[in-house]
Structures are given as structure tokens and as C-alpha cells.
Amino acid sequence: MSELSRRDFVKCAAGMTALALAEPLFAAEPKKDPYADAVFIDGEPPLPAPDSFTIAVLPDTQHYCEKYPEQYFAQTEWIIKNRESRNIACVLHLGDITNNNTPKEWEVAAKAMGRLDGLVPYFMAVGNHDYADQAKGVRKRSECKFNEYFPISKFRGLPTFGGTYDKESERMENSYHVFSAGGRDFLVLALEFGPRGDVIRWANEVAAKHKNREAILITHAYMYYDDTRYDWKKYGKKQSWGPHAYALFGEGKGDNNDGEELWDKLVTKHENFIMTLNGHVIGDGLGRKVSKTPAGRGVPQMLVNFQMKPNGGDGWLRLLEFKADRKTVEVIDFSPTRKQCNGSPQNKFTLKLAEVKA
């Protein structure tokens, strides 16, 4: 082995060691046509009914922040331009805002989301990549730069801001927000990747305090692409990229919770949750299921992630049109850069919401 090749080998080995610390390793999946099941519909989705309102969902913008900022800017610009015609009540970001937690990437995120300031309220969860320090190959909750670029001071005076996790009151990784639309009152709980046990204690208190509001949970990892929830106890590493698989969280022994635990410890404890949303998972990046609470209410749970599409995600966002009947939500995925909707059954469907009784 030449001296040059030895150095290259050592460099490669060091990089793999760092990667092992940063990400759980799983068998690589074969590459597939990213649009094998797509049913493209040219143009924008039909305008919602006058008495409906819309929630826009932004999953996993990590590759936009790293390489394709024009996709992210196009998403938020489209939301601004359509906020009145589509009665857009808010925007939900599902985490992995950045890919490597670098200042350059956070600057892109702050610029893209900042365009919404004063126009459309937005609520954000953080993902595992938002804790990344790829140079060191580790992830630590305390090293997340989210608070530097989206500080609590930016949100504290807004009418939609509710509060933050009481043990970390100046940090935004765990927050709650309120808004009203269509004559209805809502609560949004935004929880960290693999929420810690005491964070769930706090989230339960918030949900109980706002029991008369329809609650939406956003967190980065909850549903898997096979329409199951993340469940370490049942599936272990058969479900790739689960919160318990990361070394940061003790590989199954740390203080964190996956989708099944969030369902058992939080969502089923209250009869005002109407929906959960998460990103994170690749594969086809899509999944959904409806589960019954102890009172028999069906709660829709959705995974949506487009990061594996070309150009870091091709600008796809998910639009949720809440109908006036208080029971129906029409879902469709739209890309303002492609100027297309996806009409496949995974990307265009109807949700039925269970009633929240005050």
C-alpha cells in the first residue's frame, strides 16, 4: 500500500467511525425511481371552499438548506402568495430543518422561514440532523443551533405563542402554540426528536390545560413508512432510524421515546388530539394510520417526507384543507417549483377527524 493510499485509508476509516457515532447503520436500500408511483397533475390544486382553511406542512428541508435553497425559498414564497386565497392558517415544519447544523444552513432556514414573519404563523419541530456536528461525528441536544436562529424572543410576543418546556424555558426545541381558524380553536405541540420522559410530562400538562382545543402533535420521528408507528420494543432495528437506535440516546436504554411510546404516554391520555405529523423516514417517505383512543375516537397519524426526491425534495409540501363540517380534511401534495400536484393515493386522500367534545 502506497503512502498516499495509506493516508486515504486512514481518512476513510476515521470518517466511517464518525458516521457510526452520528447515525445508526443499516443495510442500504436499493435505489428506486423516486416517482415510480406518482400521478402528476399539472398546475396548482383547486382553491379550497370559501369556508375552509388550510394548514401547510414542510417536512425535512435539510437538503434545501445544504444544497438547494431555491426550493425552500419557493415553498415559503408560494405560501405567502396564497395565504389569502387559500386561507392558510399556519405552517408546520416537521424537523430536520438543516442537514449538518451549520451556520450556513441555518441562515438559509432563517431566511426562508423569515419571509413568513408577520404574514403566516409557523411552528417548528427539530430533527436528529439539527443536532449534528459532522466534523466531530456526534450529536448532542445541547449543540442544536436552532435557538440561535429561531430564538424564543422571536416568538414570545406573538399571539400564537403558548410556551416552552418548563425545565428549558428559554429553548425552543419543545414548544406549544395556539391558533384559531374556521371558528375552531387549535393547539400545536412541537416536540424534540425522541422526546425525553420529562418533556412528555410537560406535554401532558399542556394538553390537559388546553383540553377544549383540537390538538395536533408534530415531532420528527413517530410513524414509519410501512404504516406502523416506531416501536423499538416490538421491532428494534427492523425499523431503521428509530430514536432508540441512535448512540446519543443510549441505543434502546436512553431517556427518549418513540412513536408507540408517544401514543401510549401522551396521545391516548387526552381526547382532544385530532392528528399527528412527522417526517424523518425515507423509503417512500409516506405513511398513515388511524388508531382509536380509549374513548373510541380515531386519530389520524401521518408520515410525510420528500428528501429523497430530486433536488433535495423538489419543493413538495403537503396541504391540509380543513372543511367546514369539522370532520373532513382534504390532503394533497404540491410542488411550487414543479408546478404540479401528486394525485397518487399516497399523496392525495381524505382524512376523517373525530369530534373533540368540550
Decide if 8 is inside a domain. no
Give the number of other Cβ atoms within 10 Å of residue 255's Cβ.
12
Other C-beta atoms closer than 10 Å to the C-beta of 267 total 24
* Tally of domains within the chain: 1
Per-residue pLDDT in tens (0 to 9) along the chain, 358 residues: 333 343 343 333 333 333 333 455 444 455 678 999 999 999 999 999 999 999 999 999 999 999 999 999 999 999 999 999 999 999 999 999 999 999 999 999 999 999 999 999 999 999 999 987 655 555 678 889 999 999 999 999 999 999 999 999 999 999 999 999 999 999 999 999 999 999 999 999 999 999 999 999 999 999 999 999 999 999 999 999 999 998 766 656 679 999 999 999 999 999 999 999 999 999 999 999 999 999 999 999 999 999 999 999 999 999 999 999 999 999 999 999 999 999 999 999 999 999 897 6
Cα–Cα distances (Å) from 308 to 105, 118, 199, 227, 334, in that order, read 18, 32, 30, 18, 16
Beta-bridge partners for 175:
164, 190
Report yes or no on 29 lying in a domain: no
Residue 25 lies in a domain: no
| Domain of residue 118, residue span | 37-352
The single residue listed with the C-alpha cell 412541537 is 190
Q: Is 247 exposed, middle or buried (0-12, 13-18, 19+ CB in 10 A)?
A: middle
Does residue 299 sit within a domain? Answer: yes
Give the single-character DSSP code of 243: G
Q: Which three cell numbers stand for residue 326?
A: 369539522
- The pTM assigned to this predicted structure is 0.91
User: In 171-240, at which residue ranges do the beta strands (DSSP E only) sit?
Assistant: 175-181, 184-191, 214-219
Residue 23, in any domain of the structure: no
Residue 49 domain flag: yes
- Contacts (Cβ under 8 Å, ≥6 apart) of 143: 101, 131, 133
Helices 69-81 and 103-114 pack at an angle, to 10 degrees, of 20
Q: Say whether 336 sits in a helix, a strand or coil.
A: coil
Q: How far apart are CA 94 and CA 227, in angstroms?
A: 17
CATH number at residue 105: 3.60.21.10
Residue 63 included in any domain: yes
The answer to whether the beta carbons of residues 225 and 235 sit under 8 Å apart is no
Contact 221, 285 (CB under 8 A): no
Tell whether 19 is covered by a domain: no
